[in-house]
Structure 1
């Protein structure tokens, strides 16, 4: 089952010729989600071929570099004769401001748009086999981050052991894998735990939006496969990061290490670094080896840790 992340915008507050403002696109087995929508997000979606069939838009906070792309995106969807509803999730206490932005041009989309407020600890969205959880972040605005957390998967079915126990090939295999005991012709009962291994973890992607380092990022999900973390500055501007409620690349790496993340994507890179992010990468990797700064348009396929 595929889980793909496309980095549509990785710039800080000011875009550059190489980086657009914040937007992260996630596709999971045919369903499409968008996290933040900075200015020009609709063009990035065209440029990198994601399409516009998102069902949910998750906003971390209402600073312009995270939301100014919403009106244009909705208008493009309208021009494309969209009929499916869209739900926009926004931090608690910001719904009215977001409504003002959505309808700023007095142009109501022809498709349903619902705005839902979320707070720390809320399940913003529940789908088949996964959910998106909101968690508190530390920025100079009402803000949340989001974690896409898949449900546990069934344990591996030991076919060889099942056959040794006399279970005939066929429907009884499925019953056992679904957690139901089966009775054999001789009256023997085979329990699921005899042939099914321990449940296996699903995949997890955590996106902070803009934030200072927080323990909530560590606690929202166990050992995320990908942590996408604010890394606006390098450590020589740590005071500036604290003052403006952002993080440095090193701080992001420390959070990734404490969270037992598998990979760390450093985003929201300040325009002061232009096209040179070598210091970000070196600084982060001195703490957490698998750290990188994605380019706009970079795609990352998230595989299961066991390869299945």
Structure 2
């Protein structure tokens, strides 16, 4: 079951010719999820071929580089005769401001737009086999991060063992895999744990938005397959990072290490580093042994299952 991340915008507050403001598009088995929508997000969606078929938009905070793309995106959806509702999730206390942004210049979408306020620990969206949870971040605004966490998957079915136990090929295989015991013709009962392995973990993606390093990110998901973390500055501006409630690449690497992340994507890169992000990657690798990268806009990443 594909789980893909497309980095639509990876810049800090000021865009560059190579980087758009913050936005990430996630697809999972036909579900389109958008995380933040900085200025120009709709053009990035066209440019990189994601389309506009999103059902949920998750806003980390209401700074312009994360939300100014929303009015134009909704207007384009309207022009395309959208009828399906759109749910927008936003931190507690920001509903009024977000509604004003959506209705700017008397723009009134003809399709339903539902605003859902979320805070630390809330399940913003529950779907079949996964959920998107909000978690606390540390920024100079009402802000949250989001973790997409899949449910555990069934253990592997041992067909060879089932046949050895005398289970006939057919419906009884499915019952055992679903967790139901089956009775054979001779009266023997075969239990699921005799032929089904331990549950297997699903996948998880954690997106912090803008934040100082915080333990809440570590707790958001257990050993995330991908951590997308604020890394606005390198070590040369560490004091600036603290003052402006952002992270350095090294700080992001430390959080990734403590969280047991498999991959770390360094996001929200300040325009002062335009075209020069080698230091970001090197400083994060000093403290994190997993894969580290600074994604370019348009990069698409497939998230494999942990046991693959």
Q: TM-score range by the shorter chain?
A: over 0.9
Pairing 1:51–2:63 present: no
Equivalence for 2:139? 139
Cα deviation for residue 186 of structure 1 reads 0.5
Equivalence for 2:260? 260
Cα deviation for residue 78 of structure 1 reads 0.5
Equivalence for 1:279? 279
Equivalent-residue separation in structure 1 for 2:172 and 2:257 (angstroms): 44
Equivalent-residue separation in structure 1 for 2:15 and 2:286 (angstroms): 27
Equivalence for 1:236? 236
Equivalent-residue separation in structure 2 for 1:72 and 1:303 (angstroms): 33
Equivalent-residue separation in structure 2 for 1:144 and 1:107 (angstroms): 27
Equivalence for 2:24? 24
**Other structure's SS at 1:197 match:** coil
Q: Any idea what the Cα deviations from partners look like across 1:29-73, whole Å, max 9, x if unmatched? A: 111000000000000000000000000000000000000000000
Cα deviation for residue 221 of structure 1 reads 0.6
Cα deviation for residue 105 of structure 1 reads 1.2
Equivalence for 2:69? 69
Equivalent-residue separation in structure 2 for 1:39 and 1:82 (angstroms): 21
Cα deviation for residue 84 of structure 1 reads 0.6
Name stretches of at least 5 consecutive residues in structure 2 with no aligned partner: none
TM-score (normalizing by structure 1): 0.99
Equivalent-residue separation in structure 2 for 1:304 and 1:190 (angstroms): 29
Equivalence for 1:165? 165
Give aligned pairs, total: 307
Name stretches of at least 5 consecutive residues in structure 1 with no aligned partner: none
Equivalence for 1:182? 182
Equivalent-residue separation in structure 2 for 1:221 and 1:149 (angstroms): 7
**Other structure's SS at 1:54 match:** coil
Pairing 1:247–2:247 present: yes
Cα deviation for residue 104 of structure 1 reads 1.0
